[in-house]
Amino acid sequence: MKRRDFIKRSSLASGLFFVPNFIKNIENESINNLGFKKLVIIQLSGGNDGLNSIIPYTNDVYYKNRPQISIKKNNLIKATDELGFHKSLAPLKNLYDQGYLSIINNVGYPNPNRSHFRSTDIWQTGSDTNEYLDTGWLGRYIEKYGKIPYSGIEIDDSLSLIMKGKKMNGIATKNPRTLFTNTQTPYFKKVLKYQSDQHLSEHNLGYLYKTMIEARSSAKYIYETSKTYKSNLEYPKNPFGKQLKTTAEFINSHLESKVYYASMGGFDTHANQFNRQDRLLSTFSSAMDVFVKDLKQNNTFKDTLILVFSEFGRRVQQNGAGGTDHGAANNVYIIGENLKKNGFYNNAPDLLSLDKNGDLIHTVDFRSIYASILDKWLEVDDVSILNKTFRKLDFI
C-alpha cells in the first residue's frame, strides 16, 4: 500500500491527532506481498459428532454402540463402500463430488482435554495440552506477516484468542458500517484527542491509544472497501448465514485481509441428539453451499481455502439421554479448488481401538494441518508461527 493511499483511507489524515512512528511504519506496510490467497476458518463450537456426520455405515461396532442415534444405511448419502454423509450434509457431498472437499479423519492431539473452553484454547493457540499461550496462531500470523490489524477479521462482536497477538490483534466485526460508526462517536474522538494532546512518545504510548488508532484506521478501510460488493444471493436467515454472507462480501470486495474466522454454536449434543444434529448440520451445510457459490460466482473461490473443525468429537457410545458425551478425535473438512488430495484423506476411524474413555484415538495432529496451510497455502514459515515443527500433510 502506498503512503498516500493509506493517508486517504485513514481517519488520521485530518491532522487532528498525533502520529507516532508506529503509525508511520504501518503506512509503509503492505499485505499485498502475501499474495491473493485467503484462509477462512469455521469452528463448529460445542463438539460436533463426527461419527454421525461422516458415518461408517458398514461397521457393526458403530451400530452396536449407538442403537438409538445411529444413522441407518437407508437414511444417508453413500460416498464410498465404507463411509457416507449425513443426509443434512448433502451440499457438502456435492462439494465432495466436484473434488472440492478433503475430509481428514482422526484429527486431535496428545492427551486430549475434554473441556470446551480449554480444548478450544488449545485449537486456537496451537499449544500442547499442558502449555498455556496468550496468543492465537492466527494472531501470531497477523503480527508477523500481516502487520496490519485488518489482515485478520473475525466475524463477531468480540475477538477470540485465535486472532490475538502479543502487540497486535485482528479485527472483530459483524457489520463494517457499525464498526466504522462506533469509531466516529464523540467519546472515541475525545479519548484520542486527549491522548494526542499529551504528546506521548512512542515508548510510553498507551496500549489503549495504540489499539484505538489501529481500530479506527482499520474500521474506515474495511467499511469503505467492503461497500464495493454486496451479495445478491439468498443466504439462510440465521446468524451463521449472516456471518458467511459478510465474509463473502469482504472477500469479493477484494479486501486485503488474508484470514477470516467464523463460528457456529450448538453442537454440544448431550441429549436428544438425533433431531438436533440434523437441524444443526442443515444450518451449517446450507449456508456453506451459498457461500461457495458466492465465491465461485465472483472468481474468488480459487484463491480461498476453508477449514472446518470442532474442538473435539463425541464418545463412540451413546449415553442414556439419547446423546453423546465429550470425546477426543474428530474429522476436519478442508474445502477449496486447489486440493492435492480430495475425498477422504486417510482411513476411517478404528472403532475397535479406543482409549480408556471409549474415545477415538487421534492419528493426525491438528497442528500438522495448520503447518501445511501456513507452508503450502499462505506460504510463510510455519515453525515461526507454531513454535515447533510438525509433519506436513499432502491435501494441498
How high is the pLDDT of residue 26?
47
Residue 391, in any domain of the structure: no
Q: Supply the pLDDT for residue 214.
A: 64
Q: What is the pLDDT of residue 218?
A: 76
As a whole number of angstroms, the distance between CA 160 and CA 255 comes to: 21
**Three cell numbers, residue 118:** 480449554
β-pair type (330-335, 101-108) = antiparallel
Give the alpha-carbon dihedral of 343, 346, 350, 354, to 10 degrees: -120
Query: Would you state the pLDDT for residue 15?
Result: 29
In the chain, the largest separation of any two C-alpha atoms, in whole Å, equals 73
Q: Is residue 375 part of a domain?
A: yes
Per-residue pLDDT of the chain (396 residues; tens, 9 = 90+): 444 444 344 333 332 333 344 444 444 455 556 678 999 999 999 999 999 999 999 999 999 999 999 999 999 999 999 999 999 999 999 999 999 999 999 999 999 999 999 999 999 999 999 999 999 999 999 999 998 999 999 999 999 999 999 989 999 999 887 776 766 666 555 655 555 555 544 444 445 445 655 666 677 888 888 888 999 999 999 999 999 999 999 999 999 999 999 999 999 999 999 999 999 999 999 999 999 999 999 999 999 999 999 999 999 999 999 999 999 999 999 999 999 999 999 999 999 999 999 999 999 999 999 999 999 999 999 999 999 999 999 999
Does residue 220 lie in a domain region? Answer: yes
Long-range Cβ contacts of 360-363 (<8 Å, 24+ apart)? 360/51, 360/106, 360/108, 360/313, 360/316, 360/327, 360/328, 360/329, 360/330, 361/106, 361/108, 361/328, 361/329, 362/106, 362/107, 362/108, 362/109, 362/110, 362/112, 362/328, 362/329, 363/105, 363/106, 363/329
Q: Report the number of distinct structural domains present in the chain.
A: 1
CB proximity list for 42: less than 8 A, separation 6 or greater: 261, 262, 263, 264, 306, 307, 308, 309
Q: Within the chain, how many helices (H) and strands (E) appear?
A: 13, 12
pTM: 0.87
| Domain of 304, in residue numbers | 3-386
Q: Are strands 83-86 and 54-56 parallel, antiparallel or unpaired?
A: antiparallel
Q: List the grid coordinates of 391.
A: 509433519
Find the angle CA(152)-CA(289)-CA(79) to the nearest 5 degrees. Answer: 115
CATH for 222 = 3.40.720.10
Residue 20 falls within a domain, yes or no?
A: yes
At a CB cut-off of 8 Å and minimum separation 6, what does 198 contact? none
Instruction: Flag whether 393 is in a domain.
Output: no
pLDDT at residue 88, rounded to an integer: 98
The answer to whether residue 392 is domain-embedded is no
Asked if residue 117 belongs to a domain, the reply is yes
Give the DSSP letter string of 49-118. -GGGTEEETT-HHHHHH-TTTPPPGGGEEE-SSSEEEEGGGHHHHHHHHTT-EEEEEEEE-SS----HHH
C-alpha cell at 352: 475397535
Query: Quick one: cell of 247?
Result: 465474509
